[in-house]
Amino acid sequence: MGSQSYYYQSRIPIKDAAILVRSEDPLFRLAWRKRILDHDGDGAKPGGIEKWLRLVEATGLARELALRGDGILPATRFAVQAYVDFVSTRSHLEAVASSLTELFSKKTNCFADGPPARTLSLARRRSGLFHCRLTQAPEDSEFALAWVVKHAHTRTEQDLAHAALRAKCDILWAQLDALYFSYVNPGWPPPGAFQPAKES
């Protein structure tokens, strides 16, 4: 399932670039740019995406398959695209607020901009369908939270920030459910998606 998570991770710097597009504040862009650097690396030191690729390889899958996006669940693609679209079309405040799911990743110790802790706490999540925290520094989520608190002045803005966080939870949840459906129970990957080897 590493390649499904890789696909999500590989789109995170694109999402973060879409957030850069929304900001007219150089100081915000400076802080947020760090996320792209952490994911994409600096040309010498490998970034988070490269670490994900190595994780994919460690599961026995070819790096090229992950890079090409072979076998990615359509439901994963649709949810990830919904995330990129969300940050590209909503307000700057909503775009930043949608990243706040990462606040919960500290508790689970295994996420990068990933599902909220309550998602994992459910027994149905015991199958190892999660995103490991390979890329993100704690100060990033602290910055995002402080920025949202500072910029959500009115009740309407606070409601928008809250709704953005919920929308992001829907996006993560849909990915986990699609993985579970395809590879755990009932275990029916759709045509064209990665087909696991049958257990003997």
Query: Which positions touch its own copies (CB under 8 A)?
Result: 73-75, 77-79, 81-82, 85, 124, 166, 169-171, 173-174, 177-178, 180-182, 185-186, 188, 190-192
Pick between residue 58 and residue 122 the one whose CB is nearest to its own copies.
Answer: 122
> C-alpha distances in angstroms, 51 versus 17, 75, 134, 168?
20, 24, 7, 24
Pick between residue 56 and residue 169 the one whose CB is nearest to its own copies.
Answer: 169
Pick between residue 20 and residue 174 the one whose CB is nearest to its own copies.
Answer: 174
Q: Specify the residue for token string 């072979």.
A: 70
In whole angstroms, how close is the CB of 78 to its own copies at the nearest point? 4
Pick between residue 77 and residue 106 the one whose CB is nearest to its own copies.
Answer: 77
CA angle 59, 60, 61 (to 5 degrees): 100
In whole angstroms, how close is the CB of 4 to its own copies at the nearest point? 14
CA angle 126, 130, 131 (to 5 degrees): 165
Enumerate the H helices of the chain as residue ranges: 2-10, 12-22, 26-40, 48-58, 63-68, 74-89, 92-97, 105-108, 117-121, 138-151, 155-183
In whole angstroms, how close is the CB of 173 to its own copies at the nearest point? 5
In whole angstroms, how close is the CB of 166 to its own copies at the nearest point? 8
